Structure 1
Amino acid sequence: MKANQLDNCRICGTLFFKDYTDYCLDCYKEIEEEFKLVNEFLKIEANRFADIQEVSESTTVSVKQIAEFIRDGRIYAEDFANLGYPCKHCGKVIKRQILCSDCFEDFSSKIDATLKNDKFLEETGRKRVRPKVNAQYWKIR
């Protein structure tokens, strides 16, 4: 059995024993109440086509927190036609992950190209040449 560890709450900074969450008991209870509000709102059939902004305005739960519920799998966005959150890079509405598929593919190809270039340079014995930046400093007269 793992010993309890002291940690600071990610929301309020209070020191607490970290068992299963990153939040103190008070903040955890508040998050659970927010989840119940959002969940009850989405259970109403008339609200099934609401987007994340409408859900936030109706429940007073932040868009960031609702997006966190979706990312954590507590709310299954696939069940709701308009529910999603913005991609961290381009802002396109997505229902899973942090990046949309286009941004993910773009970043993956850039990383692959960089890794191939580094491997080539390593195999040929060359070193990556970094551009020199001439720093300019102001002098007091």
Structure 2
Amino acid sequence: MDLLNCPNCGEIYVNNSVRDVCNKCYREEEALFDTVYRFLRKQENRSARIERVSEATGAPENLLYKWVKRGRLHTTQFPNLGYPCDRCGNIIREGKLCEKCNADIKGELEVFEMEKERLEQLHKSSYYSQEKRK
């Protein structure tokens, strides 16, 4: 059992896997979630972006991002909702990275692997050439 300080208010609470804030802040978040969900359920608001939802409901954008990331607000129902890519900050709808960052990292890994193989080959050839000199 871990005791943590609530990131919102600083109050000490018992950490569990369900909540990442104290009970008081959790109740406040749940009240805000109900407000946000009622707003989004209206047909004219289903295509609202995070900024509009935040402005209309008073819910902070980072809290909306958290709900989308955790699947509480489904991007299939609300297609303009998303959260920032962990690397570049562009808005995404699933995973941790956008497609561009994913491709960049894969490319960097491929370059790294090729360089690693080249160095191993270089090391092997220099090892054998030293062995022949003895």
**Shorter chain as normaliser: what TM range?**
0.7 to 0.9
Alignment correspondent of 2:35: 37
Identity fraction in percent:
33
Q: 1:15 to 1:116 in 2, by over 3 A?
A: farther
Which structure has the larger Rg over C-alpha atoms?
Answer: 2
Alpha-carbon shift at residue 105 of structure 1 (Å): 1.4
TM norm structure 2? 0.76
- RMSD across aligned positions (CA): 2.3
User: Comparing both structures, which one devotes a greater share of its residues to helix?
Assistant: 2
Code of the residue aligned with 1:17 in structure 2: it is V
Structure 1 residues not aligned, in runs of 5+: 127-141
CA distance in 1: counterparts of 2:121 and 2:20, whole angstroms = 44
TM norm structure 1? 0.72
CA distance in 1: counterparts of 2:69 and 2:10, whole angstroms = 23
Alpha-carbon shift at residue 66 of structure 1 (Å): 0.6
Match of 2:15 among 14, 18, 22: 18
CA distance in 1: counterparts of 2:10 and 2:68, whole angstroms = 24
Deviations 1:78-121 (A, max 9, x none): 22232223434444432112321121111222133224434543
Does the aligned pair in 2 maintain the 1:8–1:16 contact within 8 Å? yes
Following superposition of structure 1 onto structure 2, how do residues 1-141 of structure 1 map, counting pairs within 5 Å? 4-20=1-17, 21-118=19-116, 120-121=118-119, 124-125=122-123
SS in structure 2 at match of 1:65: helix
Does the aligned pair in 2 maintain the 1:78–1:95 contact within 8 Å? no
